[in-house]
């Protein structure tokens, strides 16, 4: 009987996933009938109306209050609305990626996308050594791998598929058509990333999500858990690590920024310091968030701490591949 109930619950779950996916795809198909700017502006307005009705809105408000105690309640709520508008635009932009990315290094007139740090992109593409690019959930971060490809970079982006398998398949097919190599964050993904770096490849990772049993670090003055993956790969392969982000501009435009490589903290023996490097990455992300707080996903439970699991001898159990998306 228990086996039957379990199978029934799984079938009902899959049926629910299918219905939600059909609804989402239908809404995106309707948006695609509109001109790009009208569709994206409509998504923004819808996100600002619907976002405050979902449970995660209270999570976002609480996170904002603790991150910015100096801001008024009106300012906090305005940032939360900006966030929901940004997230709705991001969802709608999946169907317009081929139209949105119009950057041309030789163009004389600015388009929707501008790039800051062209020479760094070119340097990474020409250099025969492993590189790690990291970003966070800012603006339309999906445009960064496309920009890398424009400069001749071959980037493998680590991403976390949505729990809904039907939506995951749809998003994956959309992203692969424009973004190149993608790697789902599941068991064994870290070994694949290691092989890429071993062959002087470039990987891209998102670093601003909670990682269960991760490295204890600080973010906005509060303790959180951060994935050790970037730190461990940088130490093992002595990679250059570059921060990159997408800034959403008015009128459905974007600025893609890649910064100079980080000088990673080192241990006495010269190896990369894992925790200090994770903290450095957090500090970079916090700087970005403070500059554009409405473009980050405040509804994420970034500061929820998990109980540490201990291995034999009282040592912390090794971390698995992080739940990140890129």
Nearest to residue 300, comparing CAs of 69, 89, 56, 77? 56
Nearest to residue 244, comparing CAs of 101, 99, 104, 145? 145
Cα(258)–Cα(255) distance, rounded to whole angstroms?
Answer: 10
Give me the DSSP letters along 286-314.
HHHHHHSGGGS-TTS-TTPPPPPPB-GGG
Nearest to residue 150, comparing CAs of 196, 90, 106, 182? 106
- Give Cα separations from 49 to 97, 250, 315 (angstroms): 24, 20, 48
Cα(190)–Cα(320) distance, rounded to whole angstroms?
Answer: 8
Q: Rounded to an integer, what is the distance from CA 39 to the centroid of its chain?
A: 23
Q: Residue 183 in 3-state DSSP?
A: strand
Cα(243)–Cα(286) distance, rounded to whole angstroms?
Answer: 12
Query: What phi and psi, each to the nearest 5 degrees, are found at residue 91?
Result: -60, -45
Element (H, E) at 222: strand 222-226
Nearest to residue 326, comparing CAs of 110, 145, 176? 145
The 10s digit of each residue's pLDDT in 76-135 is 999 999 999 999 999 899 888 878 889 988 888 889 999 999 999 999 999 999 999 999
Could you tell me which residue, 286 or 156, shows the higher pLDDT?
286
User: What's the pLDDT score for residue 156?
Assistant: 81
Rg of the chain over Cα atoms, rounded to whole angstroms, equals 20
pTM value surpassing 0.75:
yes
The 10s digit of each residue's pLDDT in 165-205 is 776 676 666 665 555 566 656 666 788 888 989 999 899 99
């Amino acid at each position: 009987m228990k086996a039957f109930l379990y199978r029934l619950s799984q079938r009902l779950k899959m049926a629910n996933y299918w219905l939600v996916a059909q609804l989402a795809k239908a809404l995106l198909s309707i948006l695609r009938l509109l001109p790009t700017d009208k569709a994206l502006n409509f998504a923004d307005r819808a996100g600002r109306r619907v976002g405050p009705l979902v449970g995660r809105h209270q999570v976002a408000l609480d996170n904002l209050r603790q991150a910015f105690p100096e801001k008024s309640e009106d300012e906090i709520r305005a940032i939360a609305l900006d966030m929901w508008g940004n997230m709705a635009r991001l969802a709608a932009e999946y169907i317009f990626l081929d139209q949105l990315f119009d950057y041309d290094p030789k163009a004389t007139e600015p388009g929707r996308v501008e790039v800051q740090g062209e020479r760094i992109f070119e340097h990474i593409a020409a250099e025969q050594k492993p590189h790690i690019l990291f970003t966070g959930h800012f603006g339309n971060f999906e445009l960064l791998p496309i920009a890398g490809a424009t400069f001749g970079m071959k980037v493998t982006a680590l991403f976390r598929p949505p729990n809904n398998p039907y939506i995951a398949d749809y998003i994956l097919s959309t992203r692969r058509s424009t973004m190149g190599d993608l790697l789902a964050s599941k068991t064994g993904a870290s070994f694949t990333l290691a092989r890429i770096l071993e062959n002087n490849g470039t990987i891209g990772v998102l670093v601003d999500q909670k990682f269960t049993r991760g490295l204890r670090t600080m973010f906005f003055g509060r303790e959180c858990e951060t994935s050790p993956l970037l730190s461990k790969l940088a130490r093992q392969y002595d990679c250059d690590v570059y921060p990159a982000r997408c800034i959403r501009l008015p009128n459905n435009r974007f600025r893609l920024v890649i910064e100079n490589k980080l000088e990673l903290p080192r241990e006495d023996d010269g190896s990369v310091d894992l925790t200090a490097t994770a903290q450095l990455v957090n500090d970079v992300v916090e700087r970005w968030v403070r500059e554009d707080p409405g473009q980050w996903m405040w509804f994420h439970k970034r500061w929820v701490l998990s109980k540490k699991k201990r291995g034999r001898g009282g040592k912390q159990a090794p971390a698995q591949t992080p739940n990140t998306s890129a």
